[in-house]
A and B are shown apart, each in its own frame.
Chain A
Amino acid sequence: MSVFTLEAGLALLGLVLLMIEAFKPDISRRTLGLTAIAGTAIALVLLPFCGASLPAFMQPWHQIDTLALFYKGFSLVITLLVLWLTLECSPYLTKFTLDGKLAEMFSLPLIVCSGMMWMASARDLVTVFVPLELVTVSFYVLVAFARKSSFSLEAGVKYLILGALSTGVLVYGIAWIYGATGSMSFEGIAKALGNPATSKPAALFGAAMILAGLGFKVAAAPFHMWVPDVYQGAPTPVTAFLSVGSKAAGFVVLTRALDAFLAEGSLIGTEIQAMLLVTGSLTVLLGSLPAMFLTSVKRLLAYSSISHAGYLLLALACRDSARVDLASGGVVAFYLATYLPMTVIGFLGLGLMRANGLGEDIKDFTGLARRNPLLALVMTLSFASLAGLPLTAGFLGKLFVFLGLADHGYWGALTCAIVAAAAGFYYYFKTVLAIYTTEGTDTPALPLGVATKAVAGLLAVTIVVLGVYPKPLQKVLMPASAAVVAK
């Protein structure tokens, strides 16, 4: 069995669940949710045992290399967590949906996951575009899912309008690139860009448009304006999905596209690299600095997500160096792997606050240490890791980025990254401080289910283990980068 059957299977399962809900309306949401979770879990278990063989007709536009496999696993893990988080938050979420139904909240993530997995294997711009739209359109629905909440609707409309615009820009860019290089496949584009006869302005314009379109998906400045409102308005599990899944999908495509644009001897290499450095520096600053003045934790996580996108862009700007084993694609994958557990814990905490009738402001976290010490510890770890404290996974991710920038001598970008990291310390620790403040709180204990405890504990352990023993993950990603370089 080849890997691509898993994605097809997941999409099918999503459709089946949708049908079941439509024709058998009295089915409990728990059954639906557990079926979706079981399906994703089975796919995750099967992933390592699947072969990488492809039928001949797929080979020109589909590839299964280490990077693709890593992102497929990544998509499955985040989908699994989001489905579980949805189930956990469902009593609260159903207050805001029509007739208290949630079926699409369980079937659409499966379809999104299948799209993200498909995208990870993309080999040309069409196989990028189609799954990217599959993912984005599904997200339009998910973001606006809490129909009775005006925030969710507002977020949905904003996301729809800006998303459609960015799609337009992306397609426009693809058209220009096709016109300039005569090719849709990344290999063909790389080859054409190495040829001095190719029109440089046309190629550069097309590439810049593609970067702008993708920049919207990953929340790169100056296309990041939609993020705070949409993240704040969307249901918390969807926000987690957007923040981790959608971002990872955008970055795998960016990695592939940039490997073509920045290939050895590319006509537009210098310009694109400069663009990445500027965008990355802007993004880290515009994500971190405004976040210092916020009081809503959900909005704060949205800004933090922007700033993390900035570090990832800076990682992409640093091409390979002999002095560090990970190529830029590898660093991005590593960073995303560390980003997943810490972000999910953050949103898990938010979801639990909501489920217990509390708000999402920093002051609502006051005294959490007394209400639930385990959740407090886990959230502390997650925020420490988001801030990039040593011995947590987040520090290593940032370290790789900083080392890359320093090794290439990009001092301006490095300064921006350091300033942003310093600002990050401030706003993350503002929340941690609230968690441990005790005076003036007499709120009751916040009970957690066994499953919640297990998942939160597992994610926290992942943060620490990745932070002190990253070697296995690096090993996994190394051949990926090598393979990317070879192409």
Chain B
Amino acid sequence: MSVLEIVIALPLLAALAVWLGAPARAASLGATFINLALVIGAMVRYAGKSGLAFTHSRPILDNPALSFAVGADGVSLILALLTTLVMLAAVWQIEDRPNIFYIASLLIGGGALGAFLTTDVFFIYAFHELALIPTFLMIALHGRAEPAQRKAVAWKTTIYLGAGSLVLLAGLVWAVLEFSGGSKLTFDLTALRAQAAATPLTPEKQAPIFFVLLLGFGTLVSLFPFHSWAAPAYATAPTPVAMLHSGVLKKFGLYGLLRIAVPLLPQGAQVPWVQNALLLMLLGNILVMGLVTIYASRLDDTLANSSVMHMGYIFLAFAAGTEIALKGAVLLMFAHGVSIALLFALCGRMRNQLGTLEYSKLGGLATHAPAFTVLFAFGAFASIGLPGLTNFAGELMIFAGSFANFKAGPLTNLHWTVILALWGVVMSAVYMLRAYRSVFHGSATTGLFMIDPAFSQRAPFILLAATLLVTGCCPWLLLNLMKSAL
């Protein structure tokens, strides 16, 4: 039995226990604490190694070969760390809510862990679907809007993500058929990768498969123009669900690209038509969504749209495909997950206490709630990409890595995109600073008043902020885990 199997099973078992009547908060916090410890332990043990570790496989079907196989390399471990951190914080910050909040958080987290830590395409897909269901249900049942409106948002999300998942399934089946070899079908990612390395497809044949996978995974990550589900979903979702989905589950699409599409189809993203399409789409994410975000008039809208926008940087890394850019992408996935989860958690707390998130009504919170303000500043500045916080390291690596092959010749489309994408950083600064100013500075409207949370309620926020600071100052802590080529 591998430690990873325990990590996957714990939250799911805890959810079952809560459903059966175990004390919800104690069981959830206990399970997520142990999980965090287990993942950190695994990272320490993994340090210095390369390739898959902690592997274990339980065959389920012989032909088509299907097995419950777990295994992790640096990338999986970094994302598992992200999941356990955000899951702990999400469960911790729940206050006076029905048990279904704990169950849903544990199921989403457990599903994400399963998707990140299994190495069989079937289970990678299956666990992600498992995590999506509670997301839909929680938005529809406990979303922060009128019943009719939150149901509409839930359906929109379901339809987008459901359609995306089916496109993804088609792409995965296509890849499985191409790379299984002649004798039998296999879903084992290691075997598929070996086959892809031994008999690679020509770039022209890789391109369509990569494109289908890109559309499937991309919809899940809110790639422009398939992004319009994301902002209303995050603005409506209950706080723990918004934290877990935008922080963790959305990274599944990127992880899938990195783990399945890139190794199987290494040249797929660089075939001109695919690359140009991807560049256009990611510019849509960065520039169009950046402008949309600037014009948002509520804090939750700003955060939700910014979360869509920042995905553009990570897609840039895929378009470039260089080693440095991809490693930067992993770092940024981690950093964005932590920072957006922190911001959504704080935002949820503000909504509970103040009842509104309209910029025109807010102001001057810094004087009443200094600790809260500092925590928010961590999230906001990380989001902008301030040096010293993790996001900066990730973005820098992506930009540098994407501009790497610049020689004295004319600029390629990729280079132009990098130049345009850099303006996204400016836009981030504009909307985040504006949000910060209108919420925390100036003077408050009468009646809107909040104080700092008690320390026990501050802890989950501090945990996330500290993570940003530590990994921001020492990004090598994470980068060292990715010694082997991606």
Binding site for B on A (CB under 8 A): 322-325, 373, 377, 384, 389-391, 395, 399, 402-403, 406-407, 414, 418, 421-422, 425-426, 429, 432-433, 436-439, 468-471, 474
Contact = CB atoms under 8 A, between A and B. Distances in A.
Contacts of B127: 390-391
B219 to A, nearest CB: 13
Interface residues of B, number: 37
B62 A429 contact: no
A426 B159 contact: yes
B185 interface: yes
B61 interface: yes
B25 to A, nearest CB: 19
B contact face: mostly helix, strand, loop, or mixed: helix
B60 A471 contact: yes
Interface string B16-54: 000100000000000000000000000000000000000
By Cβ-Cβ distance, the 3 closest A-B pairs, closest first, are A390-B126, A325-B63, A390-B129
A474 B62 CA distance: 9
A390 B173 contact: no
B100 to A, nearest CB: 8
Nearest to A475: B62
Interface stretch (B130-138, B380-388, B439-447): B130-138
A324 B60 contact: no
Contacts of B183: 322-323
Contacts of B174: 406
Interface in B41-83: 59-64, 68
Interface string B170-188: 1001100100101111000
Given A323-B185, A425-B162, A391 B141 contact: no
Interface of B: 19, 59-64, 68, 122, 125-127, 129-130, 133, 136-137, 140-141, 147, 151, 154, 158-159, 162-163, 166, 169-170, 173-174, 177, 180, 182-185
A470 B61 contact: yes
A439 B151 CA distance: 13
A390 B125 contact: yes
Nearest to A424: B162
B163 A422 contact: yes
Contact of B162 (A384, A422, A436, A474): A422
A294 B137 CA distance: 21
Contacts of A391: 126-127, 129-130
A471 B61 contact: yes
A479 to B, nearest CB: 14
Given A468-B60, A470-B60, A433 B122 contact: no
B53 to A, nearest CB: 24
A390 B130 contact: yes
A324 B63 contact: yes
A439 B61 contact: no
Contacts of B64: 323-325, 403
B456 to A, nearest CB: 29
A395 B126 contact: yes
Contacts of A429: 136, 158
Given A323-B63, A324-B185, A469-B60, 12 more contacts: A323-B182, A323-B184, A390-B130, A391-B130, A403-B173, A406-B173, A407-B185, A433-B141, A433-B151, A437-B141, A438-B141, A470-B60
Contacts of B184: 322-325
B6 to A, nearest CB: 17
Contacts of B122: 390, 399
20 contacts: A323-B185, A324-B63, A324-B184, A325-B62, A325-B63, A390-B122, A390-B127, A403-B173, A418-B166, A418-B170, A421-B166, A422-B162, A422-B166, A425-B162, A429-B158, A432-B137, A433-B141, A433-B151, A436-B141, A470-B61
Contact of A402 (B125, B140, B173): B173
A135 B183 CA distance: 42
Contacts of B62: 325, 471, 474
A380 to B, nearest CB: 9
A433 B169 CA distance: 24
B315 to A, nearest CB: 25
B180 to A, nearest CB: 7
A391 B159 CA distance: 20
Nearest to A440: B147
**Residue with the greatest number of chain A CB neighbours at <10 A, chosen from B159, B162, B177, B184:** B162
Contacts of A421: 166
A418 B162 CA distance: 11
Nearest to A418: B166
A377 B107 CA distance: 14
A324 B176 CA distance: 12
B129 A389 contact: yes
Contacts of A469: 60
A403 B127 CA distance: 20
B16 to A, nearest CB: 10
A406 B180 CA distance: 13
A407 B177 contact: yes
Contacts of B137: 432-433, 436
B184 to A, nearest CB: 5
